[in-house]
């Protein structure tokens, strides 16, 4: 297909890297080198503009920016940098961002080498048919091994790296080399300007003035303000208000967006739920015959109950979740009630990181104190009457007598680790009911392990255990493979003989005893002593499998009332009463929100 | 009591001086010199005189000099204070007059002087008979100092001596406490107080609590029970949370706190309950001297707070329940026009757990119940509701 002169001067690319390998810093240098951002205006790492992203040093949501670059040949190029989230929870978003590009910079830290996410994202890029341009970073560090890293890239990923740029994004070394390679190595976008519109949504966010701002890559055709667009997955139509491109400071209006270009569309859309990542936009009066491949509606994989620590803030929690959902189509929530915790929401997340981010944002941006129940995956239960139910809340787990079979989600996990830790990590995977698939030596020092693992084991503290058993060196990537029949049980906890719904969870039978004992012990350590002895029991159905006792309190008295100071004792009792008001009533037992969270907090590897 | 009969009143006189601050003490006290002390005594006497003009119809039947360490004052200064009391207030012939003192190395003439001044009860702060524990508390004396002091007081003719012990001292064990209790019962003072150590904010202990080897909750609870058993066996009545007495020797002054009987406090940090109103004098000696000089009653009687309604009822329960005799349900009903159950709910669960008894028309904590009484009282009472700010 012949492409236009305009298209010949466009390059669309992503940067993929493991966390901390310097992706954002490199992006900053590219912006600076192309004078997209003047150096004095540079805020560190322009692309990561959420506070939380800056703190965690990761990109949570994709962003895109347009750079203007005059090549050594003297020709002007438009470079569209599409940033990708750097975590396993956002694999699907990464794949869609990559599909909007023709090439990807694969940034590898010359002191660390290839990590699990580097590899996972590199494979995604290969799958998407991208030209991969390796960039060896952090060459300013004394321990940098440029040649070794290049060799590793060639050996492990199988792409030439002999002449690839070796840079230090931090100190700004060899950045022009990267820009020149982008122009020479990455192909210009193909696509027919005159065909019906096909634009790939790779991100969107809600703006209170503009409505949803949709980030797109136009594959075929063109779109301009006044057009009526249609979302191909839902058929919904909207009238375009504006189209334009993203420079480093925000949105910049254009007359139209044409094949090969990256830009934004606004169309008074009220919810990001209407503009799902991966969907195809076409024109209502001249629609494309088929959508771009690869769209799927993302489904939450991990669920947890979120409750306000102060029950009276239930309304605030609802408002906060609604605000977050405006910008996060992957977040789902619906009201739920717990006997122990009162009114709250069952929330669905892409994974644990996604969950942590939402929790942190709720606490930080909305000033809420939360109680979060243990995360759960979705189980598929076939009942004896043939009905299949999907269970994301242990409370709804059917009576064992009604269950014909139970299935749990299984993931394909890839772990890259220095060889020293292979033994410990294989033990860990074994302990977490993993099925060994294979093991590959990446080089003499590093190994890639493949396991099939139940997702409910991954969300139970797997990542921390992995890090502690490898002194932080092992990296993990996983994707959902499917569902597998499993011997599951629901574990309940009783305080004073009364079941506490918020503590129940679903677990594989062979893990039940160990977890039951551990949680019972934690309850014992965290429930303050009460006036009466509190028996703690862990049960599967009516069978008690672990028990502990919180002994009755023995000392809570003000021994001395100095010189008739009665007021002081009153204040003390008053303070004590105030403290009790914050307590959660778990059956007849009072527990502070902090104690409840301590029980649910997963400990380090043990 | 007939209309013409005088009402009883107690006086608490605070001496805010110490030789040195103990590690656990958050009471108002500081080191001093002779000039400070003389000026302070003059102010106290002036204050006693000023207040006496507004007090009529009362007979003083208890006087308590507390601190601090009142015996930091000269015996003559203590005598001057008590003389002022006698001049300004009708003092009952059988009045209980207590002075707190610490074990001292030189008792030459001290107790004879106190007796001559009219003091008839001594309260000696011993805490423990083990010198390592005394050291851990930051006390200046040794057990030997205490023995010398105690014997000198007896020798001088003191008929009524109380000894303070402490439970839950760093390094204290059941064995060391048993020894302390044995030594005490052998010595047989008329009254023994045994306070659990409380680590209060603003004390040296509070800042170092993480490195102190304090006995845990169970160990302290064991010590409380151990103390109760040992002292009961030696003929002491456990009449209040922390207080034990041989028959006839309960502290009459301290009892008035629990029985809501009136008392006036003098000195910085002193508290008063008079004609149904509680008030206090701020903890500031310099400001106190100035306020007395200026007869500034707004300062001397700060935060006046009438005790009425639900607060009076809750306070009554809080105070009476410190006593092992508990409260009289009939008296409660007469005073507040409601039954105990109506006011505070059903008590059967507490009774069943052995924390509370109800017999002969009285409600009282058991030994075990008393040690967890804050947890129970904070369920019952609500001082946030009306005005106890």
Interface ipTM: 0.89
d(CA A546, CA A515): 10
Chain A residues inside the 8 Å CB shell of B322:
561
Q: Is the confidence at residue A62, as pLDDT, over 60?
A: no
* CA-to-CA dists, residue B222 to A126, B130, B370, angstroms: 71, 19, 14
Structure token pair of residue A159: 């792409």
Q: Is the confidence at residue B2, as pLDDT, over 60?
A: no
- CB-based contact B14 A566, cutoff 8 Å: no
User: Measured between CA atoms, how close is B220 to chain A, in angstroms?
Assistant: 8
Which has the higher per-residue pLDDT, A353 or B164? B164
Q: Which among A562, A564, A570 has the least Cβ separation from residue B27?
A: A562
Q: Is A422 left (phi over 0), alpha (psi -120 to 50) or beta?
A: alpha
pLDDT digit string (tens) for B165-212? 999 999 999 999 999 999 999 999 999 999 998 888 788 888 887 777
* CA-to-CA dists, residue B121 to B64, B98, B101, B251, B352, angstroms: 9, 4, 11, 9, 41
Local confidence band at A10 (pLDDT 50, 70, 90 cut-offs): very high
Which has the higher per-residue pLDDT, A323 or B127? B127
User: Measured between CA atoms, how close is A515 to chain B, in angstroms?
Assistant: 29
Chain B residues inside the 8 Å CB shell of A558:
198, 241, 374
Instruction: Evaluate if pTM is beyond 0.80.
Output: no
Report pLDDT for B30: 74
User: Measured between CA atoms, how close is A437 to chain B, in angstroms?
Assistant: 50
* Mean pLDDT, all residues of chain B: 92
Q: How far is C-alpha A262 from the geometric centre of its chain's CA atoms?
A: 24
Residue of A nearest to B321 (CA): A557
Write out residues 36-95 of B within 8 Å (CB-CB) of A: 64, 66
pLDDT digit string (tens) for B257-268? 999 999 999 999
Percent of chain A with pLDDT over 70: 93
Helix, strand, coil percentages, rounded to 5, for chain A? 30, 35, 35
User: Measured between CA atoms, how close is A526 to chain B, in angstroms?
Assistant: 15
Residue of B nearest to A576 (CA): B378
Please indicate if any CB of chain B lies within 8 Å of the CB of A571: yes
pLDDT digit string (tens) for B209-223? 777 788 888 999 999
Structure token pair of residue B382: 């609500």
Chain B residues inside the 8 Å CB shell of A562:
27, 66
Name the CA dihedral angle for B130, B134, B137, B139, rounded to a multiple of 10 degrees: 170
Considering only CA atoms, give the Rg of chain B.
21
Report pLDDT for A351: 85
* Mean pLDDT, all residues of chain A: 88
Q: Is the confidence at residue A84, as pLDDT, over 90?
A: no
Local confidence band at A205 (pLDDT 50, 70, 90 cut-offs): confident
Report pLDDT for A228: 97
Structure-token match 């039978």, residue found: A509
Q: DSSP letters of A6-30?
A: HHHTEEEEEEEE-TTSSHHHHHHHH
Distant-in-sequence, close-in-space partners of A125: CB < 8 Å, separation ≥ 6: A14, A16, A98, A104, A106, A132
Q: Is the confidence at residue B389, as pLDDT, over 60?
A: no
Q: Is the confidence at residue A42, as pLDDT, over 50?
A: no
Report pLDDT for A56: 47
Local confidence band at A445 (pLDDT 50, 70, 90 cut-offs): confident
pLDDT digit string (tens) for A132-176? 999 999 999 999 999 999 999 998 888 899 899 999 999 989 999
Report pLDDT for B85: 97
Please indicate if any CB of chain A lies within 8 Å of the CB of B271: yes
d(CA B363, CA B358): 5
Report pLDDT for A602: 62
Mean pLDDT of B129-154: 94
- CB-based contact B375 A553, cutoff 8 Å: yes
Report pLDDT for B74: 92
Chain B residues inside the 8 Å CB shell of A564:
12, 257, 263, 265, 271-273
User: Measured between CA atoms, how close is B307 to chain A, in angstroms?
Assistant: 11
d(CA B119, CA B81): 11
Mean pLDDT of A248-270: 91
Q: Which among A557, A560, A578 has the least Cβ separation from residue B372?
A: A557
Structure token pair of residue A19: 């966390």
Mean pLDDT of A169-184: 94
Please indicate if any CB of chain B lies within 8 Å of the CB of A531: yes
Report pLDDT for A256: 96
pLDDT digit string (tens) for A560-597? 777 788 888 899 899 888 888 777 777 678 887 777 77
The SS3 call for residue A95 is helix
Residue of B nearest to A577 (CA): B378
d(CA A349, CA A362): 14
SS3 labels along A408-427: EEEEEEEEEEEHHHHHHHHH
Residue in A555, A579, A590 to test binding to B, most B beta-carbons within 10 Å: A555
Report pLDDT for A250: 76
User: Measured between CA atoms, how close is A38 to chain B, in angstroms?
Assistant: 52
Distant-in-sequence, close-in-space partners of B344: CB < 8 Å, separation ≥ 6: B317, B380
Local confidence band at B234 (pLDDT 50, 70, 90 cut-offs): very high
Helix, strand, coil percentages, rounded to 5, for chain B? 40, 20, 35
pLDDT digit string (tens) for A13-29? 999 887 777 888 888 88
Q: Would you tell me how many other CB atoms lie within 10 Å of the CB of residue A471? A: 11
Please indicate if any CB of chain A lies within 8 Å of the CB of B371: yes
d(CA A434, CA A354): 24
Q: Which among B64, B218, B271 has the least Cβ separation from residue A554?
A: B218
pLDDT digit string (tens) for B336-350? 999 999 999 999 999
Report pLDDT for A605: 40
Distant-in-sequence, close-in-space partners of A360: CB < 8 Å, separation ≥ 6: A52
């Amino acid at each position: 297909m012949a492409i236009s002169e305009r298209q010949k001067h466009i390059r669309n690319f992503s940067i993929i890297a493991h966390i901390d390998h310097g992706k954002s810093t490199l992006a900053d240098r590219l912006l600076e080198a192309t004078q997209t951002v003047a150096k004095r205006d540079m805020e560190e790492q322009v692309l990561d503009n959420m506070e939380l992203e800056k703190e965690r040093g990761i990109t949570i949501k994709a962003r895109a920016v347009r750079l203007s670059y005059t090549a050594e040949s003297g020709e002007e190029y438009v470079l569209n940098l599409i940033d990708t989230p750097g975590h396993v929870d956002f694999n699907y978003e990464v794949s869609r961002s990559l599909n909007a590009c023709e090439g990807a910079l694969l940034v590898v830290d010359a002191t660390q080498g290839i990590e699990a996410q580097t590899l996972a994202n590199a494979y995604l890029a290969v799958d998407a048919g991208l030209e991969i341009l390796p960039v060896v970073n952090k060459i300013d560090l004394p321990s940098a091994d440029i040649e070794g890293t290049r060799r590793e890239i060639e050996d492990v990923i199988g792409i030439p790296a002999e002449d690839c740029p070796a840079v230090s994004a931090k100190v700004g070394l060899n950045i022009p080399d990267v820009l020149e390679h982008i122009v020479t190595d990455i192909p210009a976008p193909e696509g027919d300007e005159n065909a019906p519109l096909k634009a790939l949504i790779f991100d969107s966010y809600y703006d209170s003035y503009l409505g949803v701002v949709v980030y797109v890559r136009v594959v075929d055709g063109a779109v301009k303000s006044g057009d009526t667009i249609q979302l191909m997955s839902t058929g919904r139509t909207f009238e375009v208000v504006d189209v334009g491109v993203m420079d480093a400071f925000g949105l910049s209006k254009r007359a139209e967006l044409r094949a090969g270009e990256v830009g934004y569309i606004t169309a008074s859309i009220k919810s990001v739920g209407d503009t799902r990542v991966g969907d195809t936009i076409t024109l209502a009066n001249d629609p494309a015959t088929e959508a771009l491949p690869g769209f799927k509606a993302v489904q939450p994989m991990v669920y947890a109950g979120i409750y306000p620590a102060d029950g009276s803030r239930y309304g605030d929690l609802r408002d906060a979740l609604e605000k977050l959902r405006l910008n996060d189509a992957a977040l789902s929530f619906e009201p739920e009630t717990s006997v122990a915790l009162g009114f709250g929401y069952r929330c669905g997340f892409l994974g644990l990181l996604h969950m942590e981010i939402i929790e942190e944002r709720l606490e930080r941006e909305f000033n809420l104190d939360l109680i979060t129940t243990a995360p759960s995956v979705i189980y598929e239960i076939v009942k004896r009457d043939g009905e299949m139910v999907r269970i994301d809340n242990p409370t709804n787990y059917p009576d064992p007598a009604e269950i014909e079979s139970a299935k749990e989600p299984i993931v394909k996990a890839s772990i890259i680790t220095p060889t020293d830790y292979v033994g410990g990590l294989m033990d860990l995977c074994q302990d977490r009911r993993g099925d060994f698939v294979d093991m590959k030596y990446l080089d003499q020092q590093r190994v890639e392990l493949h396991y099939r693992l139940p997702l409910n084991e991954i969300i139970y503290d797997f990542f921390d255990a992995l890090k502690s058993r490898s002194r932080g060196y092992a990296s993990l990537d996983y994707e959902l493979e499917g569902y597998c029949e499993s011997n599951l049980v629901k574990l309940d906890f009783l305080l004073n003989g009364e079941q506490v719904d918020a503590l129940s969870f679903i677990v594989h039978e062979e893990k039940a005893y160990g977890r039951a004992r551990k949680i019972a012990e934690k309850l014992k350590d965290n429930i303050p002593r009460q006036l009466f002895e509190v028996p703690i029991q862990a049960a599967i159905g009516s069978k008690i499998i672990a028990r502990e006792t919180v002994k009755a309190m023995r000392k809570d008295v003000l021994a001395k009332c100095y010189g008739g100071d009665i007021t002081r004792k009153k204040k003390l009792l008053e303070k004590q009463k105030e403290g009790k008001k914050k307590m959660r009533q778990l059956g007849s037992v009072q527990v502070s929100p902090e104690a409840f969270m301590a029980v649910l907090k997963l400990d380090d590897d043990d | 009591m007939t209309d013409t009969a005088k009402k009883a009143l107690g006086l608490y006189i605070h001496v805010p001086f110490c030789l040195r601050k103990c590690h656990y003490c958050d009471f108002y006290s500081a080191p001093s010199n002779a000039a400070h002390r003389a000026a302070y005594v003059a102010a106290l006497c002036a204050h006693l005189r000023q207040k006496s003009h507004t007090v009529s119809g009362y007979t003083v039947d208890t006087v308590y000099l507390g601190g601090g360490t009142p015996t930091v004052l000269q015996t003559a200064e203590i005598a001057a204070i008590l003389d002022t009391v006698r001049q300004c207030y009708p003092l009952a012939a059988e009045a209980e007059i207590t002075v707190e003192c610490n074990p001292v190395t030189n008792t030459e003439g001290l107790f004879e002087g106190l007796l001559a001044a009219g003091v008839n009860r001594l309260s000696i702060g011993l805490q423990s008979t083990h010198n390592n524990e005394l050291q851990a508390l930051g006390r200046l004396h040794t057990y030997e100092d205490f023995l010398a002091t105690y014997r000198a007081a007896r020798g001088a003719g003191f008929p009524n001596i109380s000894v303070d012990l402490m439970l839950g001292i760093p390094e204290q064990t059941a064995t060391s406490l048993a020894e302390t209790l044995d030594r005490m019962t052998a010595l047989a003072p008329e009254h023994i107080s045994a306070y659990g150590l409380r680590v209060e904010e603003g004390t040296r202990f509070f800042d170092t609590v993480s490195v102190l080897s304090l006995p845990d909750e169970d160990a302290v609870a064991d010590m409380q029970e151990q103390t109760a058993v040992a002292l009961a066996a030696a003929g002491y009545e456990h009449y209040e949370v922390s207080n034990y007495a041989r028959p006839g020797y309960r502290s009459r002054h301290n009892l008035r706190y629990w029985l809501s009987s009136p008392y006036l406090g003098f000195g910085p940090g002193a508290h008063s309950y008079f004609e149904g109103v509680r008030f206090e004098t701020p903890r500031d000696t310099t400001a106190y001297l100035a306020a007395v000089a200026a007869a500034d009653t707004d300062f001397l009687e700060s935060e006046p707070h009438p005790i009425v309604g639900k607060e009076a009822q809750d306070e009554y329960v809080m105070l009476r329940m410190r006593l092992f005799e508990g409260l009289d349900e009939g008296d409660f009903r007469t005073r507040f026009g409601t039954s105990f159950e109506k006011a505070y709910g059903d008590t059967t669960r507490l009774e069943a757990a052995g924390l509370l008894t109800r017999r002969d028309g009285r409600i009282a904590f058991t030994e075990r119940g008393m040690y967890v009484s804050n947890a129970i009282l904070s369920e019952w009472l609500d001082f946030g509701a009306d005005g106890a700010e």
